[in-house]
Amino acid sequence: MTLPSPARPVGPSTAAGRPRAFRLAFLVPRTEWAYKPRIVATTFVIVTQVFLYVLLWRALYGEGSQTVVGLDASQAITYSVLATLMGTGRVVLEGASQETAQSKIRDGSVVFWFVRPLAARRYCAWRGVGEGLYATAWLCAGLAIGLATGLVSAPPTWTATAVAVLSYALGQVVFYQIGLLVDLTSFWTITSFGVNRLVAFAQLLLSGGLVPLWFFPDWFRMVGEHLPFAATIHVPVSLYTGRIAAADAGWFLAEQALWGVLLTLAGRFMWHRAARRLLVLGG
Partner 1 sequence: MSTKTSAAPTPAVPVGRLRLATVILRAGLRSQLANRADFAMAVANGVTYQITVVLFATVIFSRFPALDGWELGEILLVSSIRMVGHGLYMLFFGNLGLIPHLLREGRFDAFRTRPAPTLLQVFTYEAPVNALGDLVVAAVSLSVCLSLLDIEWSVGAVLFLILAMVCATVIELGLNLHIAALVLRFRGSESLFFWLDNTAGTFGNYPLSVFPTILQTVFTFGVPIAFAGYYPAAWLTGHTDTVPFSQALVYAFPLVALAVTALGLAAWRRGLAWYSRNG
b (16+ CB within 10 A) / e for 73-94: bbbbbbbbbbbbbbbbbbebbe
Of 13 and 48, CB closest to partner 1: 48
Give burial (CB, 10 Å; 0-12/13-18/19+) of 204: middle
Q: Considering only 3-11, 33-41, 159-167, 251-259, which stretch makes contact with partner 1 by CB under 8 A? A: 33-41
Euclidean distance between CA atoms 214 and 202, whole angstroms: 16
Q: What end-to-end distance do the CA atoms of the chain give, in Å? A: 50
Among 19, 29, 42, 74, binds partner 1 (CB under 8 A): 42
Number of residues that bind partner 1 (CB under 8 A): 38
- DSSP lists the bridge partners of residue 67 as 72
Pick the piece of the chain touching partner 1 (CB under 8 A) from 123-131, 158-166, 185-193, 227-235. Answer: 185-193
> Is 55 a residue that touches partner 1 (CB under 8 A)?
yes
**Rg for the chain, CA atoms, rounded:** 22
Binding track over 202-231 against partner 1, x by CB under 8 A: --xx----xx---xx---------------
Is position 119 an interface residue for partner 1 (rule: CB under 8 A)? no
- Total H helices, total E strands in the chain: 14, 2
> Of 162, 165, 166, 195, which lies in the binding site for partner 1, with binding defined by CB under 8 A?
195
Residue from the set 19, 21, 45, 264 that interacts with partner 1 by CB under 8 A: 45
Rule CB under 8 A: is residue 201 a binding residue for partner 1? yes
> Which of residues 167 and 186 has its CB atom nearest to partner 1 in the complex?
186
The yes or no reply on residue 61 touching partner 1 (CB under 8 A) is yes
Options 15, 20, 41, 114; binder of partner 1; rule CB under 8 A? 41
Half-sphere exposure at residue 49, Cβ-oriented, CA atoms within 13 angstroms:
21
From 183, 170, 179, select the one nearest 250 (Cα to Cα).
170
Q: Which of 20, 116, 122, 197 binds partner 1 (CB under 8 A)?
A: 197
Query: Do residues 17 and 48 lie in contact, with contact meaning Cβ atoms separated by under 8 Å?
Result: no
Select from 19-27, 110-118, 199-207, 275-283 the region that touches partner 1 (CB under 8 A): 199-207
Q: Taking CB under 8 A as the rule, does residue 281 contact partner 1?
A: no
Regarding 26 and contact with partner 1 (CB under 8 A), the answer is no
Q: How far is CA 175 from CA 3, 35, 204, in A?
A: 57, 24, 12
d(CA 235, CA 161): 13
Interaction site with partner 1 (CB under 8 A): 35-38, 40-42, 44-45, 48-49, 52, 55-56, 58-61, 68-69, 91-92, 98, 189-191, 193-195, 197-198, 201, 204-205, 210-211, 215-216
